[in-house]
Structure 1
Amino acid sequence: MPSYLARLDTWRPAAWTDLDENVRGAIRQGMLRPPADPHDRAGRGGGLGALFHRGPSEAELVHALCGPDGRIREAALGQAADRPALLPLVAIRATDWAAPVRERALAVLAAALPSADAGTLAATAPVILRIRGRLRGAEGAALLEEWLRTTTPDVLTALFTHRDRTTRRLALRIGVERSLFTPRELARTASADPDPAVRDTAADAAAAADAPEETLGLLLTARTGRVRAAGVTALRRAGRHAEAEPYLYDRSGTVRACARWVLRQDGVDPLALYRAACAEPVTMPDRAPLGLAECGERAVDLPVLWALTGHPRPLARSSAVAGLRAFEVTDLPRLLALLDDPAPGVVREAARTLSPWVHRLPERELLGRTGPDRLPHVRIRALRLLRDHGSWAYEETARRLAEDPDPVVRYRTHLALGR
């Protein structure tokens, strides 16, 4: 890496846009000597015209490319064509306000992209994508996309491993358009990639393919609900509707909705399955009550949910309470009683269910639950409800709990106070 750029994180697109702005600002403030007029052949103004004849140093060329004088920026682009390390700055000049600078930069960029090595491309593509939202940034982005649609697959593969997520998203999208990834590769990406947008694109593409068994398996066992949902939807295309039934009880609402849709396409009523499951509390999947509320009937299914708030398993109880919220239950005394549950998850769902009606809750009920005789998670949820209530007692109660002997209560109270 040339010495001038040695301190620059060239893989980070913001580093290049910051460099452009900082150099121009430094010249305007007199902190850097401005480059001279390139038409000053005799070099009377500092000699950039003469400098271009002998070949500028990297630092001189950076100053010329980023300087405030458009004629100097335009002249510098001719020298930058032979400096691959500065191609990101050429990309920035492709959004220049001065039309001659912009047109020349686009011409240099179009000529340089096909021959750029992996390192140059890895530095330049993220810059182009970062500035495409500028007033004149669309042309450079279109140029990049057009070239990526015809370049060799290894270029897209290299960009797909880039740490810049916008670059990776573009590489994946164009790779999918060009059918460069196998269904299995897409499924593995959807299952493991840290970027949600990449996972979604890969999952949709994998599900749209005539995926083999192992591909469907990767989608259906993914950690992310959106990816599992794509796998469940693909079960219909594969003619395996019945295999969607276990996903009626998935932890993701999107997956549950997709499972219901797939089963309905096969003539199966998911509501009947939910009701049958909830009628057998011992063998009932823990999230069956929530699924029941999502597609059930209030008059028929609400009593079932109330009964399941006493289920021995905490997750089943919290699912039932969440189902009550889906039915917009307003029986405040019964909901308040759920705040005393020994399971934090149940109390969390009860507090969320009470939240829309917090101004109708008696303050004494909430204050009583902040006392030292209550479980820590009950005290914290009651404090938050007091805050949302706008209670006069909130500040005083929060100060008291901030000094509580229980470390969990102290920590959560400090978070609630923004400390």
Structure 2
Amino acid sequence: MTAALLAVGSAADREDAIEALRVLTERPALLLRLDAFIRRESWYSARPAPLLTEADPVALALAASHADGRIRERAVRRMLNQPYPETMPFLVLRTSDWVRQVREPACTGLAVLLHENPLLATPVTVRTALLVNRRRRGAFAHAQLRVPLLDESGTTLSGRLLTAPEPSVRRFVLDTAAQRLRLRDLAVLAESDLDRQVRARAAEAAARQAVWTDQVELLHRLARNRHAEVRITALTGLMRTGSPQRVVPFLDDPSALVRALAREAARRTGTDSLAYYRAAVQAAEPQVGAVGGLAETGSRADGPLLTALLDNPAPQVRVHALRALRSLDAVPVPRVTLLLRDGSTAVVKEAAAALAPSATQLPAGLLWDMLTDPHRPAVRRAGYRLLNRHDRPTALRAALVLSADTHPRLAAQAKTDATTQIRTLASHPWRTRPVPSLNASPAQAAELLALAEQRRTEITEGMVQLLRDLLRMAPGSR
């Protein structure tokens, strides 16, 4: 690979060499691996070091990773004589070099270059510095790249870096110079960026500026954003402006954090949050945020209100009602049992979670029927989860049955569980803890052994033999 790169660099067309470096530095993590590879290769190779001239940027970049520190030093000094944006990542690498004679000129040169031409701080250079910052001597480049962003003329550089496709670069700019960005640009980032952390950082900076400059309308705009991390920051800003009444309408927000802030605003304005939630869940189309709010502020006495929501046609309302009943310890077992075959997969999953503490009270026939449901993996998974809450023979039988399931993930989970259960029951000389007992009746033991024989392909012959030995040694097996 290095030979191919050197061949490109030695060609007459410098543009091709620069393009080769551009492609090479697009992935800084790969660049760090290449740096280590070249160092190992050059240490054991008898090939002479490449001829170092400013006319061959590829040779300079590769020589900067050579095992010989003197060659790395010469490469660094020649790169500084004629800098290219494409060679800056290689220079950043050398700012963390373990040899002082290489590291010091690289650090000094980087500082001078960024002072003379801040636009050399390309997104690739920033990404490389972020990776190098994790090294023992890698903090210099990271700190030095902050300087042009904090300079009076750093607006142009910030604008360029904020358009970088890599979220880590945009986060770096916001962490460094958010206070220097225009409020309008911060608001756009908070509303439209695809990265959650970038949105949160931009929203925080925008809300801070809006509070300082009393731009309440901007806070209202951000409070209507679909992302919770933006809404909570904007609403916090509204609270700081002394307008808690503007936060109260968010009592039924989908975000629990936003609801908590809205309840504090309601407390300050004298609004009864619990009464609001009790009325909201009885509306014709209750919001899931209102259901969650009732779970956070209500008690078991609110169980009937939440149970009524289990008939709501919206699956998300039923899901949140089940979660609320769980959190209030008010699960109506007979009613929730009917939801184990609900048309929504999410409702089936939540119903199984709600019924888990009462699994032994459910009809065994229903759970075994669910485990063999021919159409819906979600129903089989729910049945398996509830059967696992029974005694060891039942749980092992369920795992053996499901280990041949047509759904790959279900089968793999059941196979792992069956193998683990059998191994846990086996005694070994090195085990100091008491070995649990299977406690299987003769009928259960015979059924387990028959199932294991049928599943020898899934759980291996060794596991079948181990289970056979365990059942033979069990009390009452003779």
Place the TM-score, normalised by the shorter chain, in its bin: 0.7 to 0.9
Which protein, 1 or 2, shows the higher relative CO under an 8 Å CA cutoff with sep ≥ 6? 1
Task: Give the alignment's Cα RMSD to 1 decimal.
Answer: 3.3
The answer to whether 1:3 aligns with 2:5 is no
Contact 1:11 1:122 in 2 (8 A): no
Question: How far has the Cα of 1:204 moved from its partner?
Answer: 1.4
Q: Please, which of 169, 172, 182 is the counterpart of residue 170 of structure 1? A: 172
Q: For structure 1, which segment, 241-250 or 142-151, has the greater mean C-alpha deviation from structure 2 after superposition?
A: 241-250
What SS does structure 2 have at the residue aligned with 1:146?
Answer: helix
- TM-score with structure 2 setting the length: 0.72
Q: How does 1:3-42 map to 2 (within 5 A)?
A: 3=17, 6=20, 8-30=23-45, 33-35=47-49
Report the equivalent of 2:371. 370
Report the equivalent of 1:254. 257
For 2:59 and 2:230, the matched residues in 1 are separated by: 50
User: Whose radius of gyration is greater, 1 or 2?
Assistant: 2
Question: How far has the Cα of 1:338 moved from its partner?
Answer: 3.4
Report the equivalent of 1:326. 327
Deviations 1:257-276 (A, max 9, x none): 22222222323231221123
Report the equivalent of 2:91. 90
Q: For structure 1, which segment, 132-141 or 391-400, has the greater mean C-alpha deviation from structure 2 after superposition?
A: 391-400
Q: How does 1:235-254 map to 2 (within 5 A)?
A: 235-254=238-257
For 1:142 and 1:130, the matched residues in 2 are separated by: 13
The answer to whether 1:140 aligns with 2:133 is no
For 1:18 and 1:267, the matched residues in 2 are separated by: 61
Contact 1:34 1:67 in 2 (8 A): no
The answer to whether 1:392 aligns with 2:406 is no
Report the equivalent of 2:190. 190
Report the equivalent of 2:230. 227
The answer to whether 1:63 aligns with 2:62 is yes
What SS does structure 1 have at the residue aligned with 2:343?
Answer: coil
How many pairs were matched up? 391
Report the equivalent of 1:43. none
Q: For structure 1, which segment, 321-330 or 375-384, has the greater mean C-alpha deviation from structure 2 after superposition?
A: 375-384
For 1:388 and 1:224, the matched residues in 2 are separated by: 38
- C-alpha change, 1:197 and 1:4, in structure 2 (3 Å) is same
Question: How far has the Cα of 1:330 moved from its partner?
Answer: 6.6
What SS does structure 2 have at the residue aligned with 1:369?
Answer: helix
Question: How far has the Cα of 1:332 moved from its partner?
Answer: 5.2
For 2:259 and 2:327, the matched residues in 1 are separated by: 15
**Identity over aligned residues, as a percent?**
33
Q: For structure 1, which segment, 77-86 or 338-347, has the greater mean C-alpha deviation from structure 2 after superposition?
A: 338-347
Q: For structure 1, which segment, 366-375 or 21-30, has the greater mean C-alpha deviation from structure 2 after superposition?
A: 366-375
The answer to whether 1:272 aligns with 2:248 is no
Question: How far has the Cα of 1:296 moved from its partner?
Answer: 1.8
For 2:267 and 2:72, the matched residues in 1 are separated by: 64
Q: How does 1:196-235 map to 2 (within 5 A)?
A: 196-208=196-208, 209-210=210-211, 212=215, 214-235=217-238
What SS does structure 2 have at the residue aligned with 1:309?
Answer: helix
Deviations 1:83-134 (A, max 9, x none): 3232211111111111221111100111111334746623322211121011
Contact 2:126 2:145 in 1 (8 A): yes
What SS does structure 1 have at the residue aligned with 2:396?
Answer: coil
Report the equivalent of 1:406. none
For 2:48 and 2:18, the matched residues in 1 are separated by: 17
- C-alpha change, 1:248 and 1:322, in structure 2 (3 Å) is same
Question: How far has the Cα of 1:287 moved from its partner?
Answer: 3.6
Contact 2:148 2:154 in 1 (8 A): no
- C-alpha change, 1:285 and 1:83, in structure 2 (3 Å) is closer
Report the equivalent of 2:459. none
Contact 2:222 2:230 in 1 (8 A): yes
- TM-score with structure 1 setting the length: 0.81
